[in-house]
Structure 1
Amino acid sequence: MVQKAKILLVDDRPENLLALEAILSALDQTLVRASSGEEALKALLTDDFAVILLDVQMPGMDGFETAAHIKRRERTRDIPIIFLTAINHGPHHTFRGYAAGAVDYISKPFDPWVLRAKVSVFVDLYMKNVQLREQAGLLRRELEGGRPPAHGERGSRGLLPELSARLAAVEEQAEALSKELEDSSMSAAVATAAHLERKLTGLRRALDALEPGADAPARAESSQG
């Protein structure tokens, strides 16, 4: 079963949450509601999210305060935050949003197609990172070596072709995503995609060092990196 990304929707008004769910349902991901900043922080304690859509104006803890708490936590500080606001804000208001850690700022009423496209980019990046972690786990098992395969497992050399094929698929998807973002104004997404490509390059080098015929020094160097 393909894992779905979780998207956190934070707004104190139920009708706004319902509208967001209607817009984002086409992405076929898991949508999680939070009606306050406190509720959002509680959800972030246990679940991993691809992106957070955060309303600015909320009673009690507003969007700026909520974002500040999110960015202070090591577990959640790298989650992209898109601020949603009905305020006719000026440059100072916008700067405050970006200073709080937002990757984008969208005014209500917003274009559903634009919002869905922006969220889709971060979902794609999140899924690529999940796949990359899975490949890194398989590669780590190869690098550890020395353990006989358990019942139902394939041997070390049988796993390498599968790992290489999976990594090639992620590399192809990451390259396509980077090309889509070349002319994008979403600097945070572009930076994340570039970081993903660097990690893919390092993983590919380590995998190549495990292929039959790779010399010992190269293998040792890759395992240390």
Structure 2
Amino acid sequence: MRAPQSKAKILIVDDRPENLLALQAVLPALDQTLVTATSGEEALKALLTDDFAVILLDVQMPGMDGFATAAHIKRRERSRDIPIIFLTAIHHGPHHAYRGYAAGAVEYASKPFDPWVLRAKVSVYVELHLKNIQLQDQAAQLRLKLQDSPGADPTEVLAELRARLAAVEEGVAAITQGLGETPTDTTNRVSVDRLEDQIRGLRRAFDALAHPGSDDATSLPPQG
């Protein structure tokens, strides 16, 4: 089983060094791992080997621009669910923003950005990413228990797993309380709903493990 992941990776893509430096100065307060790329091509290479909680993507870049980069990201199975925040200094009105959302963006921020607002937006996606990883780990532990000790008394392991799941539930509840009714918040709500479904599935699996005769004892929520 993989080691618990305490930090998420955030991918920052911008062809201008000064913009990368500005973002690197704002985001360390989140205490996550920052990865930079200076082009769309470089970003796509990073996405081949690493998993990211969120991508901050500049729209205006030479060669492959932000729209084209986002399209490639969304076509790949490994990266298609990673939220993308577009950053741009250009104001072309609603049509420009709609193009960004059509390319797969969940946020559209204009430069110069408000550091506090940007950190708050990024932190939501980081928390969702880490909670999803926690849920996958809980499911993996439960699968191992079922496979390795089918006849063992599950009381002790269930108590530990339920305590861990309760901590995840509290974190998801805190995220839910901060959501409003804007289009972006609706996108976040979909992610939270998916996590809550996984939590309910794990709870059912825990109950089934406590009662081995149940048909749900071998039915676990999917990972990822």
For normalisation by structure 2, the TM-score amounts to 0.91
- Residues 178 and 194 in structure 1, CA contact (< 8 A), matched pair in contact too: no
SS at match of 2:108: strand
Q: What stretches of structure 2 of length at least 5 have no aligned partner?
A: none
Q: AA paired with 2:51? A: D
Q: Check whether the contact 2:55–2:83 (CA below 8 A) recurs between aligned residues.
A: yes
Separation in structure 2 between the aligned mates of residue 39 and residue 147 of structure 1, nearest angstrom: 47
2:154/2:209 contact within 8 Å kept: no
Identify the range of structure 1 (61-70 vs 192-201) with the bigger mean alpha-carbon deviation.
192-201
- Contact 2:10–2:35 (8 Å) recurs in 1: yes
- Aligned equivalents of 1:142 and 1:34: distance in 2? 41
Query: Which of these residues, 155, 158, 177, is aligned with residue 156 of structure 2?
Result: 158
Shift, 1:142, TM fit: 2.2
Give the alignment partner of residue 134 of structure 2, picking from 127, 131, 134: 131
Whether 1:203 and 2:206 are equivalent positions in the alignment is no
Indicate the residue corresponding to 2:6 in structure 1.
Answer: 3
Offset at residue 143 of structure 1 (A): 2.5
1:164 Cα deviation after fit = 1.1
**Regions of 4+ moved over 6 Å:** none
User: What displacement does 1:54 show?
Assistant: 0.1
Rounded Cα–Cα distance in structure 2 between residues aligned with 1:116 and 1:46: 25
Larger relative contact order (Cα-Cα within 8 Å, sequence gap ≥ 6) = 2
| SS of corresponding position for 1:103 | strand
- The residue type equivalent to 2:176 in the other structure is S
Shift of 1:224: 2.9
1:1-225 map, 5 Å: 3-146=6-149, 156-183=154-181, 185-186=183-184, 187-211=186-210, 214=211, 216=213, 218=214, 220-224=215-219
Shift of 1:176: 1.6
1:126: how far off?
0.4
TM-score (norm 1): 0.90
Q: Distance in 2 between matches of 1:14 and 1:203?
A: 45
Q: Structure 1: where are the runs of 5+ without partners?
A: 150-154
Aligned residue pair count:
216
Q: Distance in 1 between matches of 2:181 and 2:212?
A: 41
Cα distance in 1 for partners of 2:118, 2:164 equals: 30
C-alpha displacement of 1:173: 1.2
Q: State the one-letter code of the partner of 2:95.
A: H
Distance 1:16 1:148 in 2: 58
Calculate the aligned-residue CA RMSD, in Å: 1.9
